[in-house]
């Protein structure tokens, strides 16, 4: 009498490749979009900061006013990334071991594309105040 062999049926893996492709593809797509969004947020932050630096140095010149520095900052931001990112620009004189100008910009932090949380991004820049003395 021949012994009966109990052989389990092999697991059927037909159709698993498309499912794995969709799962891995979705994960890679989300990861790619997240990296692109992070890059956009860093770019916006750098543009706003560079505009604040330029506005601070312009406002610190001996023959300009603080309002001209704020206007220059607003113009640079609006020209580079759009008017909605240049809504809150403030300029004031400070004493940082000597007279200085501080420009502070509050802007939208982009979270999904260019849409985001208003006022969540704040940058400041300083420049030594010039005088004609």
In a domain, residue 4? The reply is no
* C-beta atoms surrounding 50 within 10 Å: 16
Of 7-11, 25-29, 95-99, 119-123, the poorest mean pLDDT is in 7-11
In a domain, residue 21? The reply is no
* Length of the chain (residues): 133
Q: pLDDT tens digits for 17-73?
A: 888 999 999 999 999 999 999 999 999 999 999 999 999 999 999 889 999 999 999
Q: How many domains does the chain have?
A: 1
In a domain, residue 7? The reply is no
In a domain, residue 5? The reply is no
In a domain, residue 83? The reply is yes
In a domain, residue 9? The reply is no
Range of the domain at 38: 29-128
Q: State how far the Cα of 74 lies from the Cα of 91, in Å rounded to an integer.
A: 11
**Average pLDDT of the chain, as a whole number:** 89
The three-state secondary structure class of 132 is coil
Q: State how far the Cα of 81 lies from the Cα of 45, in Å rounded to an integer.
A: 10
66, 92 contact by CB (below 8 A): yes
In a domain, residue 22? The reply is no
In a domain, residue 124? The reply is yes
For the full predicted model, state whether its pTM sits above 0.85.
Answer: no
């Amino acid at each position: 009498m021949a012994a009966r062999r109990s052989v389990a049926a092999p697991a059927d893996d037909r159709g698993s490749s498309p499912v794995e492709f969709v799962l891995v593809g979705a994960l890679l797509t989300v990861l790619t979009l997240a990296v692109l969004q992070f890059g956009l947020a860093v770019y916006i932050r750098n543009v706003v900061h560079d505009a604040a630096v330029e506005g601070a140095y312009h406002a610190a010149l001996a023959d300009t006013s603080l309002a001209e520095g704020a206007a220059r900052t607003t113009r640079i931001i609006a020209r580079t990334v759009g008017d909605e990112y240049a809504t809150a620009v403030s300029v004031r004189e400070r004493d940082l071991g000597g007279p200085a100008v501080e420009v502070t910009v509050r802007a939208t932090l982009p979270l999904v594309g260019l849409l985001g949380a208003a006022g969540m991004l704040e940058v400041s820049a300083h420049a030594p105040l010039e005088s004609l003395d």
